[in-house]
Structure 1
Amino acid sequence: MRRALLIGSETGGLSGVHADVEVMGQALAGLGFTVRPATGKDATAQGIVAGYRELVEDSGPDDAVVVYYSGHGGRQRNALASQDSTLPTWLQYIVPTDFDNRSDNRSRCILAEELTRLQLELTDRTCNVTVILDCCHAARMSRSGSAVPKALEHLHLPEEDLVRRWREARLGPSLGSDANPHAVRLVACAPHQSAYEIHDARLGRRHGVLTAALVRLLTGSDADALTWLDVLESVRGAVPASAAPQRPDVEGPADRLLFSLRTREGQGVLPVRVKDGVPVLPDAAVFGVAVGDRYELVAPGGETRLAGAVVAGISRGDAVLALEGLPDTAVLPPALSAWPVGAVLRQLPVVLLPAGHPGRDRIARELASSAQVRIVEETDDALATVRLEGDDGDDPAVQVANGMGQPLSGKAMSLDTAVEAVRALALGSYVRRLPSGTDRSVLPPDVEVQYLRLLSGGGEEELTHGAHLFVGDRLLVRITNRSGERRFVSLFDIGLAGALTWLTSSEQGGVTLESGEQYELGHEWGGGMPLQWPEKLPAGPAWAESFVAIVTDRPVDRLGRLGRLGRVGGTRGIPPASSSLEWLVDRLDTGRRDVPAPPGRDGGVRWEVRPFDFLLHPARRGSADEPMFEIDERPDDSFRLVTPRGPNMPGRVAVRLKELTVHSSRAFLRSRIRIDALVVTAASDEAGGPHRAATLRFDRIKDGDRLPFADVLVYEGPVDRFLDIAVWVARDDSPDVDLAEGMAAETGSEEVSTALSTLSALAAAEPTAAVVVGSAAAVAVLIRMAARMIDQSRGTSIGVYRTTLLPHQRFGVGDGVGRHPAQGLLRAQDMSLVFEVVDLSCG
């Protein structure tokens, strides 16, 4: 069943909305849709929601559903965002027919998030959903002269009501990723732009620019052969000069054929435009296109080849095409696309084993032609290793491992699956190495991209390159435009097995950021993007994953189709390279061309590429939450993985308190002072266990006194993997037991027993990286237990110190004796101290 809800809100000077609904209804009815128009009283805020929910109730899993809106769109800056960073900078909404009704102090509008929630309910019923928004500020939301803009510029609604409703819309099940993967959304313009209503001569009445172009396409073409990307190119070419600022876009699964779940693949496919009578690939420099690259020009539908083309030059970032087989560019139809045939990823080496397998030659040809790689018998820099199993030359079982020797599956693959796996690795390698613009294409680093791990107890931790993360960790990406101009950002995830995921697919040309605007990706998942380990990927050591952010100074079409491994119609593949011409990205040293070096690029789009790499462990992160310390010098837990071994590595150490001065005991008179120290390392029970606790007491101490001791020993014994030290200082107002005695009494608890077993086991074998990093959680158990025991006394804490010393620091021993700090004292609010670590290995 095909159903369509057509909403028309003719308000604020618009006069073509009802005509929009009429012609769109006729076009969709001609394609087999049952159409329900909603105008006038049916297009109030309540009526729109009611009509949408009725559509949800009526829809089933096999239905194709369209939701269309024509009318005004609104966008206003959220004044409350300065008080709460989790709130959006801009609030977007559509404007119903009762927008001027302010009774009960409620804004009559429908927020973008409310539309998104309704759309999610609809895609829960059917995955075949298309949303068409012909209004201003349409992107990221589920008309000069005779053109009338479809926005109410002076409509300002109360922020409090809008924010309250925004929060309500965000409650409940997650709104999904940046773009609902089951809904195609054709929008009239970008968030910051206006959409226009004009008199259309061919239709004879006033219509929205998007509606008029789309209706002509639906009624004058073979709609079943078009994808939404084809529609986008045609619609953009139909925007008249009077509405030039308007830039239609498509969001979601744009590779789908119209009103269908079927797709037409084509990574690396670029749109063709005619500028001043010359066919070009716009902004092609961003994709690494260079002189000598070859393409096939294909008509909408993907099956009809019109001509060949070669890139003859680069002008202002556009690739200028020389046509082969077409003498006159005037015959080029709209929505033409260029499919790469001689511009592919450089042929990365893949090892194919064993050399004598009966199916090796056939499989080598398949890999070379489909995955665009070259087959070698051995190399140190292989993209992948493909191993054939058994003696069947026609249908062997295949194992694929990445360049680090890590298998991509726990079981053998079919040949087709193996080829796709190698293709994914090659594409991921390309995107990881995508260069930033050069010369005049250089974009200043004026957009800040932060990757944050959301902490279980609230708060966030900023991540650095090479961070060690775990399954279940939740990430937030915060992107801030610190330039004085508009910027566009596209973000990709390159998964563990090379799979490329476009995270910001809500806008084809990149998420729009006004000057000073901040965009956060991750809240849509209901508490940050969760990191997951692919089900088919064997668990083991950590694997590399990457985010790649591409920042541009203007929207660039189809960034989500980065890469050159393309197919036409799923049956016609890209031919293998038959000459030495290989694809090269300048400045990456990835190969050579047999054509002259491309000329300097003299402008056009400017861009910057920002890769961010991290290691993902298949285990979940252990809880390493600890109480606060006034002085905390611990490195990131990932440094626990840096475990060098050598003849000079200390095996036994002593930890001594050299000096401690009390600056304030928070008492009027002299007081009794207690010092507790806990040292934890990886040591077996035979060596005394993984921890030592010590308690020192001093009487009649006044403010400013240096405690009467020198070189107090708090630990002596073996050391391995880490040396964790914690020191507490408190007024000793009660006759509590010493810390060692109290901790000994707690070892029977399940939590403490497990922690001790984990730490003892670290000294006995070479554990996985996940276990080593997870040891921080075991240490935290002991630290929390010690802090709890100290807090139970009636003493007042004066100052605390916490550090972790690791093998790459030689556990802090220096050349034999390490003073901490090397000069002066460690100063907290109420105390200062110095300690030393001594190497006893040779003693």
Structure 2
Amino acid sequence: MTRRALLVGSQTDGLTGVHNDVETIAAALDGRGFTISCLTGDDATRAGILAGYQKLIGQSTADDTVLFYYSGHGGYAHAPDPASEEPATDDPASQPTPGRRPADLQFIVPTDYSPSTEGEFLGITSVELSVLQARLTEVTQNVVVALDCCHSAHQSRDPDLRVKGLDRQSTTRYEQISRHLAALRRDGLAVDRRVATGNPYSVRLVACAPEQFAYEYRNGAGQRTGMFTEALIQALAAAEDLPVTWFTLMETVRRQVLRRASNQRPEVEGPSRRLLFSLQETDPIAGLPVAPIPDGRVVLPGAPLLGVELHDEFTVMPAELPVDEETSVGTAVVDRLGALAAQAELTLRTGWSEVPATARAYRTRSAAPALPVRVTEPDAADLVAAIRTSTLVRLADADEPCTVEVRPDRAGNYQIHDRTGPLHSPRPAGPGTAARLLTDLERVARATGLRALGEDPRCALDTPLTFEWGRVVDGVEVPMRSAGEVVHDGDQVYVRVRNGGTETVYVSLLDIGVSARIENLTNFAPSGFRLEPGKEYLVGYDALSGVLRGVRLNWPAGIVPAAGRPETVLLIATSQPQDVGLLQQDGIRTADRAEVRRRVPRRDQSPLERALDQLGSGGMREMSNDFAPEVRYALRTIDFSLSPTARPPAESVRFLIDERPDRSRMLFRARGGAASTVAVRLDEVLVHRNRALRSADIRVDAVVLTGTTDDGGAVPYRAETARFRNVRDGERLPLDRMLVYHGRAVDYLDLAVWVSRDTGDSRALSDLLRDELNGPTVQAAGAQLIGLAVAAPQAAAAAAAIGAGAVVVNLAYRLLLDAVGDSIGLYRTSLLATEEFGVGRHPAVGNLRAQDFSFSYTVETVD
């Protein structure tokens, strides 16, 4: 019986903490008796990882415990629209059901991965990993897989956070991966070994939900590390040899990560009731060991695994006896918290003089989870005193990670800051300021606690629910992902919930806003609206008129509009009505008003109701150790960013390859990056087949836009056109490294390339645009861009840049259609100052392939 671990770290594309992740997880597993194999650097190529996994399978036996760990980037290939002209692959087995969009594809990124769409695909797909996992669990069922990566790209306002997902996604990558998988199937990849609902024999620990984000950051020791990996290691250390389940461990991991990043929610999949590295299953941990120390005190090892807070009360019982006050040893009240244990003051019951060596402590009353807050002004005695009276917030320890701070400015005014920046305008010091700040801090604490609310497998609601949302545009649904989207001030949205099961459920929808406002979107039914089997509820639908209007999202007054902020819609589905009304509260405001309802908790409340009441009131919560759930529940979330600006104009042009970064990277990018003088050259274009243009004469047009600090009132752009005669299939166009742009780059470079049939007498794109760019629409976009670039908050300037780019690109496409009739959008990208404007060759090797065309381009710095 051997414990084996294969640890893979792929430190690529801006990540700098992956090797630290591998080293620290190796040290943690070494202490648990694992034989460890590490793959990093040149050993973590596609071939190296696959060979390492094959070796792991070959070495393992039926009694072994095996762990596979990966830290690095994940990738996500979006499926093409089913209405597209060509299938992603010629493999019939890969074609979706007619009219249905095929599934998106996920992969991990080895060190030799390149985004080139020609040649061999060097990522490792989730399909391949699932097959390997299935083969491993055929050997031993004691398997754990831990993945510290994500498959979504996103930009945090906090420059310290680096997303562990590739920045740029493309539908052409989907075509390449589909061809890759088709070839593997032809070569015998046993895809039928995968289980559609997930491997039932392996425990899977993932850094976040499929469409969420996993972050790398600099921790308190100054090391770059994955948030998930660090929390996992600390939880394993706290667990020591206690009988802890994977569910309990991951609850601890989730709490720690959510305190640092509200849109990263670690999850556990598979048999989570197993004890750590064991096949034995049990209920989540309830009792803790008790170790007496001097002065009538005890230590409770493993207390962090239960999320123990100051003032939690434990009943100490002799071994093997159920919790009963009459037969208890005494009561312990927690007054000190440590990383691995808690200390408590012990009160012995009459008849007991000491704690038996085998005694266990069971939590019977739980304090509200207090949000750590740092006060950076040493003279803010009133505020410090106010915080010490709160049950929802507490002063952070000196070395404790803390994302919420109260800071003074030079004028002596106070502001609450989080990772995004200041939450409200400065407040002058004076009578009542401390009370107002405490009120707002407690609002933030309630919102934070609600976002971190977790499910209990003992109360699991198994009813299948569909939970989806999107924007409403002219009464039409525009679906969006459940995480990572950017919504703008004034957008109309809908939310749909459908009961796909056979039992009636009760559904509540809570909006946790950017100002910490908590609003019940289903307040017409405070205990949840009744949703019968097969029925759905659509938020934003006007039943009287039969029109989908949506719900308008607005940036709240009093919140600094400097950058987008996270917002969450939480679905709570229960088997019986459950009152969520106590949670409703106003957000941070310019003026306060009473907003939290108070009520006396009922004795017959369900565990969910008790948890929700505690989040609202901050009081103590009774804990039951004799568990027989009558109310089952499920939680689902939609996480997005709300921008304080109106939605900029959208581009209507469809490009074969669109490698623009996630929208959030443009909207939430840092300002003030160094400007550069660059040259953009289109190196080559290869025409594989000329059928799409139905002409032997071709023109290539390109537009480049950049930011500006000038006051000339024009959109800064350059357009170029090149013409080619008698182009044959397979011909490489004689571009002579076509110069597309030469000049100053500020904040970003936008590039759009079209290939069109040439009619001979058509005008160059630069001439076409020159006539139109003096029109009122373009002039207004340019004036807005230039005005906001100097004085406006980042969010407004970035939205103006996106809008100006859309105006020019849409106009260029319309002019090309009018001039030549047929035009294909070949390529679209945005290169940011934070990535040095993409200096280098694109792709690094080979060419980008888009249907009948292959091409490459280069960005060069110019002295």
> What TM-score, normalized by structure 1, do the two folds share?
0.48
Please give the TM-score of this superposition, normalised by the length of structure 2: 0.47
